[in-house]
Amino acid sequence: MEVPQPGTPEWHALVREDVVEPGRAIIDPHHHLWPSGQALNYDIADLLGDTGDGHNIECTVFMECGASYDTSAPPHLAAVGETRFVASRTASDPRGTIRALVASADLSHPQLDEILDAHTEASGGMFRGIRDALSRADEPEALTIPGRNAEGKFENPAFVRGVQRLGERGLTYDSWHYHHQNREFLALARSAPGTVMVLDHFGTPVGVGKWAGRSDEIFATWKKDIEDIAACPNVVAKIGGLAMPDNGFGWHTAQRPPTSDEFVAAQERWYLHAIDAFGPERCMFESNFPVDRLSLSYRTYWNGAKKIAARFTEAEKDAMFRGTAARVYSL
């Protein structure tokens, strides 16, 4: 029998679990969309298929991903095309699943306010913040999704001022970067104490290339970095996004996806330390779909998250599954 291609619905169907706690309300604060022919081909119908697959997903937050840029616009406004794209997809969804979006902008641009105004106008009331990632791969040839941002970006005065400007306008800043850049994110968070900063994907611990087989070493350093970042009261953490190919768990090439129990066994320590450092009231579970869809199904991910959260109180669970996201993104 031919094994289905990893990441496909047929492959995900090899592991089909009952939904854990089907009534628990969830806000998924981090997913992407791409129209057909771009990147991972994950459009609104795919999102609705996942969010409607048994878990009680109240709403979601779209995260910028370079989709549908407006190539006819001035370069500094090209990313507003992505905001229009998401707004148009939301208009076609009677449930209004996507309730907020985090857009892309060059925060060091001298016309930043013009860019933010354009996102506001194009979003139909959904614009909440900016992700202008710090990610800079130290071994890009080994990564599936290599970040190629400029070295020293976190200390560029114009960029820092842009992050500060987001806070002045009541907007959030999301960062995607790698574990070896956590101290850069820490410095940035300290430089912009008036801006709500969102740490995506635990700071993306890398587990491929020169980092393969070094998980315990990375975890030891990462723990201290996370504790120091959590000491910044303006930072909140998205806990998820550890099933990307670059995290090194290898599920995206396996004959079948992991079960939720296997997911928990492999990743629980990262979740529990982040929750311990930040507190549940500053943590939010995230799917990071469809990138993590390369490794496991939406149903399996949320089952695993619920199993990790089982030891916490009802109020703490509600914070991590919906409350923190609702507060941070004004939902």
What is the CATH number for 180? 3.20.20.140
Residue 1, pLDDT score: 66
Whether residue 145 is contained in a domain is answered as yes
Whether residue 3 is contained in a domain is answered as no
Whether residue 44 is contained in a domain is answered as yes
Query: In the chain, which stretches have pLDDT less than 70?
Result: 1
Whether residue 296 is contained in a domain is answered as yes
Global model pTM greater than 0.85: yes
Residue 182, pLDDT score: 98
Whether residue 1 is contained in a domain is answered as no
Structurally, how many domains does the chain consist of?
Answer: 1
Structural domain boundaries, residue 86: 9-16+25-328
Residue 36, pLDDT score: 83
Residue 3, pLDDT score: 83
Whether residue 57 is contained in a domain is answered as yes
Residue 188, pLDDT score: 98
Structure confidence by residue, pLDDT tens digits, 64-95: 999 999 999 999 999 999 999 999 999 989 99
Whether residue 220 is contained in a domain is answered as yes
SS (H, E, C) the chain: CCCCCCCCHHHHCCCCCCCCCCCCEEEEEEECCECCCCCCCECHHHHHHHHCCCCEEEEEEEECCCCCCCCCCCHHHCCHHHHHHHHHHHHCCCCCCEEEEEECCCCCCCCHHHHHHHHHHHCCCCEEEEECCCCECCCHHHCCCCCECCCCHHHCHHHHHHHHHHHHCCCEEEECCCHHHHHHHHHHHHHCCCCCEEECHHHCCCCCHHHCCCHHHHHHHHHHHHHHHHCCCCEEEEEECCCCHHHCCCHHHCCCCCCHHHHHHHHHHHHHHHHHHHCHHHEEEECCECCHHHCCCHHHHHHHHHHHHHHCCHHHHHHHHHHHHHHHCCC
